[in-house]
Amino acid sequence: MDIIDHQSSCVPPGFRFHPTDEELVGYYLRKKVASQKIDLDVIRDIDLYRIEPWDLIERCRIGYEEQNEWYFFSHKDKKYPTGTRTNRATMAGFWKATGRDKAVYEKQRLIGMRKTLVFYKGRAPNGKKTDWIMHEYRLESEENAPPQASKF
C-alpha cells in the first residue's frame, strides 16, 4: 500500500502519528482544502458513506503498528432531494452527531470546529448504538462543505 511505503521511507522508526486537533485543522485540512501538497500522505481519501467503520481499519492503516484511531478525508454527502435518506448513512448504519461541537484554536484564533458522531447499526430513527466514534473537522471560514479530516 502507498501509505506503508511512504511511511517507512520518510519517517524514522519510533515516530507515531498522533496529531492534535490544531495540527489536523491548521495543517492537514487547510492544505487539503487549498489543494496544497501535504508532506506525507498519511491521511487517505475515502467516501465515508460507501464504507463501514470496521472496513476503514485496513484502508487507513499507517505503517505496521497497532492503531485505535484512523484518519481520512471525505467529502460530505449531499442530501437526497427527496429527504428520505439519512445524510450520513452507510449500507449498514448511520452516523449521528452527539454532544456539542468543539472549537479548534491555533494560537487563540478560531480555525475550525470538531463535531463528534456515533455510529448506529440499522436505520434512523431506530438503530443500535456502537462503540465507533468519529470526530469530523471543518474549517471555520469555509461555507461550502469542505473535505473533512475525520478521526475515529
Cβ atoms of residues 106 and 22 within 8 Å: yes
- Alpha-carbon torsion, ordered 32, 52, 2, 21, to 10 deg: 40
Cβ atoms of residues 92 and 52 within 8 Å: yes
Dist. CA 108–CA 9, nearest whole Å:
35
Residue 81 found at the interface with its own copies (CB under 8 A):
no
Residue 13 found at the interface with its own copies (CB under 8 A):
yes
CB closer to its own copies out of 68 and 126: 68
Look up residue 128 and give its three cell numbers. Answer: 443500535
Q: Which of 1, 5, 20, 47 binds its own copies (CB under 8 A)?
A: 20
Q: How far is the CB of 74 from its own copies (least distance, A)?
A: 18
Dist. CA 5–CA 36, nearest whole Å:
21
CB closer to its own copies out of 16 and 128: 16
Residue 12 found at the interface with its own copies (CB under 8 A):
yes
Q: Which of 3, 17, 96, 102 binds its own copies (CB under 8 A)?
A: 17
Please provide the size of the chain in residues: 152
Q: Which stretch binds its own copies (CB under 8 A): 33-41, 44-52, 82-90, 136-144?
A: 33-41
Residues binding its own copies (CB under 8 A): 11-20, 23-24, 27-28, 38-40, 42
